[in-house]
Amino acid sequence: MLFNSSNPSIINSMQPEQKVFKKFTQSAQTLAIAESCTGGLISDRLTNIAGASAFFLLGIIAYDNAAKTKILGVPSALLKKHGAVSAPAASAMAQGVRKILKTDYGLSVTGIAGPTGASKSKPVGLVFIALSTRSKTIVKRFLFKGTRLAVKTQACQTALKMLAK
């Protein structure tokens, strides 16, 4: 897929995954992703673009806490204290996936897509998205509305937009 960056209307009409492709390929930076509640949707959207392997090196669906600890290196004590759906867990997941292949960026998404799994303090639609670089990690909290698929789709779209910025 070719992009003409001299035409702003083309850039503004791009889907967020196309903007991510453009940003990462032009800067020669790399990305690894750890998905939980999105179940691979982000990775799917990125790999639908031919040439994404130039920057997208790794995608892990760490749905179970054991995968978060054994593969991503999230401390089990952190999960016990804060839960898998928390800012500290999202942060640790993003840092952990970035460190596996020493990518420039690590992205993680963890949340409750529903309709089950919620509590008073963690309702359906609660999602944490973290973006990690070698120098810092940012985590954002979101509360999406709708069905399970709607929550997953909104989390995916929001994560891609974060990456594109």
Of 26, 23, 18, 24, nearest to 1 (Cα)?
A: 18
Domain ranges of the chain: 30-164
- The pTM of the full predicted model, rounded to 2 decimals, is 0.91
Q: What is the pLDDT of residues 3-58, one digit of tens each?
A: 334 444 444 567 999 999 999 999 999 999 999 999 999 999 999 999 999 999 99
Q: What is the pLDDT of residues 48-69, one digit of tens each?
A: 999 999 999 999 999 999 999 9
30-164 classified as CATH 3.40.109.10:
no
Orientation of helix 148-164 relative to helix 16-27, angle to 10°: 30
Question: Partners of 108 in the beta sheet?
Answer: 34, 130
